[in-house]
Structure 1
Amino acid sequence: MKPKDKTANYKPAVDREKDLKLAIYRIQKGRARTKETKVTIAAVAREAGVSTALIHNHYPSVAEAIREIQGRSSRAVRDVKHQDLIAERHKSTNYRQENEELRTKVAKIASINEVLLDENHTLKAKQNDRKVVELVSKKPLG
């Protein structure tokens, strides 16, 4: 038995890329040999007879084209995430500002509370020092 030539399965990159693009085209047109109906990296890999890793690692432009067909372009996803990040930073700034305003209000209320507690303590002390005398009249007024 002859040992297999390892280079027998290797195609030039240009030819392999054409095969991948044709696989995408066949899937899109409903003519896939593998009966694939959705354009995904896995479906294109099966249709072209290669691994998904090959597409990811050696044909990033094909992978990006597939993502664009799916509406998940790396650029589009990145832009959406960037816009989300900007919105979250804006919210965070507003929350920090609101937090600072609330801290200031709490400090003012705490100060007022201390003054009122002191006044209350003073009034209680004065009340305890006084002798309350009840005046009872024996004669009817009048």
Structure 2
Amino acid sequence: MKQEDKRYEEWLSEIRNKQPVLDNPEELTAAILQRVVRTDSKKKRRKFIIGSWVLGIAAGFLLCLLINEVFFMPVSEEVNKKEEYCFRQSTLPSFPANWGEMSLSERHSYWSAYYIQHRQQKQKRILDIMNKTD
């Protein structure tokens, strides 16, 4: 056992004291640089692919949230009752008898007059409510 340890120590000291001999240093340098460049480009490509996947998954997730928000919005009965009440309270305009014969400017003036009348009624209701609370 001691003899093996002694041989190992001799072998180790020879390796430590021996200087490496290089036949063609330019080739070795070129090979090392080429290897480094390849690994860098591979790492960049891998990072790009992983980043693309992560962004794609995030975009898909956000799209699903948007679709869920738009199409599957929870509606309570309270909201339905309020909408039904508002629908009953609103006065929907009826088209005049000669609607098909009216020109575009006449239709515009009809809707403008309706809008102005509707806005005045709404302001009147708001003032009535404010006066009742005072």
TM-score interval, smaller chain = 0.3 to 0.5
Question: Whose helix fraction is larger, Structure 1's or Structure 2's?
Answer: 2
Superposition TM-score, scaled by structure 2 size: 0.36
Superposition TM-score, scaled by structure 1 size: 0.35
